[in-house]
Amino acid sequence: MHTASPRPVDTGTEELQCEVRERVAVITLNRPQARNALSDRLTPALRTMIRVCGDDPEVGAMLITGAGKAFCAGGDVKGMGDADTRRERTPEERILDLQDKQRRLTGAIVALRKPTIAALPGPAAGAGLSIALACDLRIGAASAFISTGYARIALSGDYGIAWLLTRLVGTSRARELMFLSERVDAGRCESLGLFNRVVPDDQLPEASFAMARGLANGPGTVFGHMKDNLDDALALGFEEALDREAVRLVESAMSEDHFEAVRAFVGKVASPPTGR
């Protein structure tokens, strides 16, 4: 079977790499020497790629990962305590700027109606953890771990960390993870529901891409409806969610994806494999 060659996407910086392969946009944070910490070049490029790949009809799923042995260490702590930098803008200006930046990063990932996967080859902390949590699914290497990290530098959290954690692990565990800022290994991340799967380190690229490729070539409109239903489950009462679910089911039932899937399913049932 012919497989199309990967299509590189220009991100504008070497700190972020992107290619579209078999309908999967593979976005790689590429600052391995800094554990892929966010920077003034990497972060704007990441915001742009989320938008560009989200709008690209040739992209069916998005896979975000990190180069080397880390996913993302979060923000650059070295520049955070600069008093001169803090005086350059008023608190109101800084608030508005952060609100805008958050909406165009983790906010954009959550709003994306295509499946999103984070593949963690190593640690994710702070805002880097928020990026992973904003994705629909997370696959961790066995050596990966997470830490909220904010308490260690006396910050309350950003990029949706509290909202995302609370919905994934519940309010009690979210408080534990935020207050203690402990290192949580891959096994416990899986048991808490932070990681969907844990695989051996050397299998992470193949396993995460295989999952993304399967989703990218699946019924895209239906996945969008599923994401709407799952979002409604967190925000609406049962009857209103039920009514909206009915609308989306009927729309799905009228789609060509549904007709093709039914034909394929019936064909498999009608022609079971023969044994010797």
The residue extents of the domains of the chain are: 7-216, 220-270
CATH 3.90.226.10 fits 7-216, yes or no: yes
d(CA 75, CA 26): 22
Q: What pLDDT is recorded for position 76?
A: 77
DSSP code per residue over 90-123: -HHHHHHHHHHHHHTTHHHHHH-SS-EEEEESS-
Q: What pLDDT is recorded for position 268?
A: 77
Name the average pLDDT for the chain: 93
DSSP code per residue over 207-265: HHHHHHHHHHTS-HHHHHHHHHHHHHHHHS-HHHHHHHHHHHHHHHHTSHHHHHHHHHH
Distance of CA 64 to the CA centre of its chain: 6
- Which residue ranges of the chain lie beneath pLDDT 50? 1-2, 276
Q: Which helix (H) or strand (E) holds 18?
A: strand 16-21
- Looking at the DSSP bridge assignments, the partners of residue 104 are none
Where b means 16+ CB within 10 Å and e means fewer, 55-81 reads ebeebbbbbbbbbbebbbbbbeeeeee
pTM reported for the whole predicted model: 0.92
In 10 A of CB 178, how many CB atoms?
18
Q: What pLDDT is recorded for position 261?
A: 87
